[in-house]
Structure 1
Amino acid sequence: MNQAAVKPNAKAKASSRGVQSIEMGARLLTALADESEPMMLKDLAQVAGFAPAQAHAYLVSYKNIELVEQDAETGRYRLGPMALELGLANMQTIDPFAMASETISELSSRTGLHVAIVVWGSFGPTVTLVKESGSQLNMNTRPGTVYSLTGTASGRVFSAFLPSATVKRAMSLEKREKAGTGRVGTHRFLSRAEIEQIRESGYATVENPPIPGISAFSAPVFDHSDQMVMAITIIGQDFYLLDRAESEFVPALLGATQKLSAELGYIPAY
């Protein structure tokens, strides 16, 4: 009985063991990816926490399988064709909206706020999914809801981060809309200074929101091609949201959108 009881534990321990050398070598690949430029051996070794000789041994093997390549003239190392193929294969299997769904569920649970995914649709910023917090907040934001480009937090994020030609065309159409279209929010003047402020801070809100007593903050999500693919918007009652927005809720929102962007392959330019 004792022997039979021990075997499952031994198997569990064995199955949880990895190959340490592979895990260590991954630090070199991570360093090359993070630095985003070819590196000399000594610099790469320093960033990854290796002795140069130890790093060189790993790099020889990585060169053999084309995970890494070395410039013949400068001697600098960069990620190789196999790394690109792996990255492209990963991009093809990623479902951004499934990942975003998990993100907004976690964010709603963490903050106690309603959280929405908003994408660019035929008529402008369009809600595709809402995670309700379980509070008594009643609102008419549902999948299919279309937001004003300038009169809502979600719309202003798209106004700041989409290509300007796309935004101008959409704004022109929105201005000409007749009342009663169902769009949330009405067109307002949005200055260049306000656009720059949104870009600098990384999120948007709006004074005098379209639903009195309900405020929102919205932030962009980018993909590997540096394109904005969606916005994530937190929504709550003023008395709950506004006092803790800058200290708690906006940092949580930005943390979630930046993490999701990184998972989609986005590398911010500093």
Structure 2
Amino acid sequence: MGEEVTSKPRAPRGVQSIETGGAILMALAQAGGPLKLRDLAEALGMAAAQLHPYLVSFRNINMVEQTETGQYQLGPFALRLGLTRLRNQNAYRETIRRVPDLAEELGLMVAISVWGLHGPTIVYIEEAAARIHSNVAVGGTFMLTATATGKVFTAFLPRSTTDPLVQAELSGAQPPLYAIPAISEAAFRADVRDAGRLGYSITRDAPIPGVSAIAAPVFDHTGTIQLAVTIIGPTNYIDLSKDGATLSRLLVFTKALSSDLGHIEDA
């Protein structure tokens, strides 16, 4: 008897013209402004004559409109679709739905923080199999000046919002939870600038010796930081390298979340 041949399930067949139309709309969305027919065709690798009928159909349903100079841009119906999507999105809900897979994949604790009255406030924690001994708990707060999460919020919130807490920590008016060395404001500001430029912050053995963290922001459609996602683990276990798997996976996670919330990077 011959060997049984197991056929792979076929992928569902789509409608090619709809997929092409989706690529056209995506190109218009990414353009950031009106495009001439020839420029849009060039961006898509299509002939202008092939592209034009799609644009006519999209104009008929107000998905695309033409400016007074004849250029093409997304139309009112595209706006309505976008607003409907945004109304149905919730940063916190979307994050906690996805975080368990991230924690399981990395084998590390993941904390979600939002900005509260007393600074970055922990609203959700997904524990890893290898638990760490720390005071990270729901309802707790992260220091601005000594944690990766605090530096991310300081980098992406207005200085007028964060400065009162920063100065309280630097002056000792806000006593730290841990016995940590004095923090230099110059070094802190340099870390904040790096966080703003790179889009993440890393702390090693701080503020708790033996525990390190990587934090990255999640933005909404206005470019406002909604929350921070922080990976926390034992220093001898967590990969803190800039080209390492932990940072790479975290940034893929936060950028996908931001994109789903309507954020356009570098817009």
| Alpha-carbon distance between aligned partners in 1 of 2:101 and 2:196, rounded to the nearest angstrom | 25
Change (3 A) 1:117 1:106: same
- Looking at structure 1, the residues matched to 182 and 101 of structure 2 have their Cα atoms a distance apart, in angstroms, of 32
Q: Out of 112-121 and 37-46, give the one that drifted further.
A: 37-46
CA–CA separation in structure 2 for the residues paired with 1:104 and 1:184: 31
- How do 1:1-270 and structure 2 match up within 5 A? 16-73=12-69, 75-174=70-169, 175=171, 177=173, 179=175, 188-191=183-186, 192-242=189-239, 246-269=243-266
Distance in structure 2 (CA, Å) of the matches to 1:267 and 1:187: 38
Q: 1: CA distance between counterparts of 2:96 and 2:259?
A: 16
Structure 1 counterpart of 2:138, which letter? P
* Aligned counterparts of 1:244 and 1:225: Cα–Cα separation in 2: 31
Give the Cα–Cα distance (whole angstroms) in 2 for the partners of residues 24 and 245 of structure 1: 37
Q: Could you give the per-residue CA deviations for residues 238-259 of structure 1, whole angstroms, max 9, x where no partner exists?
A: 1111465642211111111111
- Give the structure with the larger helix fraction: 1
Tell me the SS of whatever aligns to 2:248.
helix
Q: CA deviation at 1:113?
A: 0.9
TM-score (norm 2): 0.87
**Distance in 1 of aligned mates of 2:15 and 2:174:** 64
Structure 1 residues 171 and 56: CA distance shift in structure 2, 3 A: same
Farther-moved stretch of structure 1 (187-196 vs 252-261): 187-196
Q: Secondary structure at the match of 1:134?
A: coil
61-70 or 189-198, larger mean C-alpha shift: 189-198
Distance change (3 Å), C-alpha of 1:178 and 1:203: closer
User: Against the structure 1 CA distance between its residues 178 and 166, is the aligned structure 2 distance closer, same or farther, given a 3 Å change threshold?
Assistant: closer
Between Structure 1 and Structure 2, how many residues are aligned?
A: 255
CA contact (8 A) 1:125 1:148 kept: yes
Q: Does the C-alpha gap of structure 1 residues 114 and 245 become closer, same or farther in structure 2, counting only changes over 3 Å?
A: farther
Q: TM-score, normalised by structure 1?
A: 0.86
Contact residue 25 and residue 74 of structure 2 kept, 8 A: yes
Q: Deviations over 1:114-155 (max 9, x none)?
A: 111111011100111111111142333111111111111111
Change (3 A) 1:187 1:91: farther
Cα distance 1:187–1:33, how it changes in 2: closer, same or farther (>3 A)? Answer: farther
Q: Is the 8 A contact 1:150 1:186 kept in 2?
A: no
Task: Return the alpha-carbon distance in structure 1 between the equivalents of residues 241 and 29 of structure 2.
Answer: 36
CA–CA separation in structure 2 for the residues paired with 1:135 and 1:71: 58
1:37 & 1:62 partners in 2: Cα distance? Answer: 17
Mind listing any 5+ residue stretches in structure 1 that lack a counterpart? 1-12
- Indicate the percent of aligned positions where both proteins have the same amino acid: 39
Gaps of 5+ in 2: 1-9
- Is the Cα contact below 8 Å between 1:150 and 1:187 reproduced in 2? no
